[in-house]
Structures are given as C-alpha cells and as structure tokens.
Amino acid sequence: MLKLKIVSPERVEFIGTVEHVKVPGMRGEFEILTDHAPIISSLQKGTVEYDGQRLDVLGGFVAVQKNEVSICVEMDED
C-alpha cells in the first residue's frame, strides 16, 4: 500500500492509502506502485488516477519515497 497526499493551493484534495497512483508526467503517463523507486517529477495537464478516483489537473509535481507519494497540483476547475 501507498500513503498518498494530494494538495492544491486551495485545499488538501486527498489523504489516504491506495494501491496505485497514475500521474501525467512530462514524458508521458506513469504508474506508481508499492516499493517504487524514489522519484521527483513535474506533471503536465492531465488526470491523476488512484484506486478508481480521477482528478483533472493543469500541472504540478510528484515526489515518491518509501511508499509515500506527495502530489502538489494546480486544479483544472472546468
């Protein structure tokens, strides 16, 4: 399991445990699973997906370390 925290400038969008997270990286979409290698990546406009939930974003950053995923996003309010 992964500990996931998604924040935007307006609020905390999600905190909880999930099995996987899919994010729109600058070089394409990628998935984060348990025991993923440490990484920091910028995000482009797209959709963050986690355990059946979808969150449209304009961009942001993701950091992964020791099964903790932190995502800071700018929300697509459309």
| Three-class DSSP labels, the chain | CEEEEEECCCCEEEEEEECEEEEEECCEEEEEECCCCCEEEEECCEEEEECCEEEEEEEEEEEEECCEEEEEEEECCC
At 39 the pLDDT is: 95
At 2 the pLDDT is: 97
Give pLDDT tens digits along the chain (78 positions). Answer: 999 999 999 999 999 999 999 999 999 999 999 999 999 999 999 999 999 999 999 999 999 999 999 999 998 665
- pTM confidence score: 0.92
At 53 the pLDDT is: 95
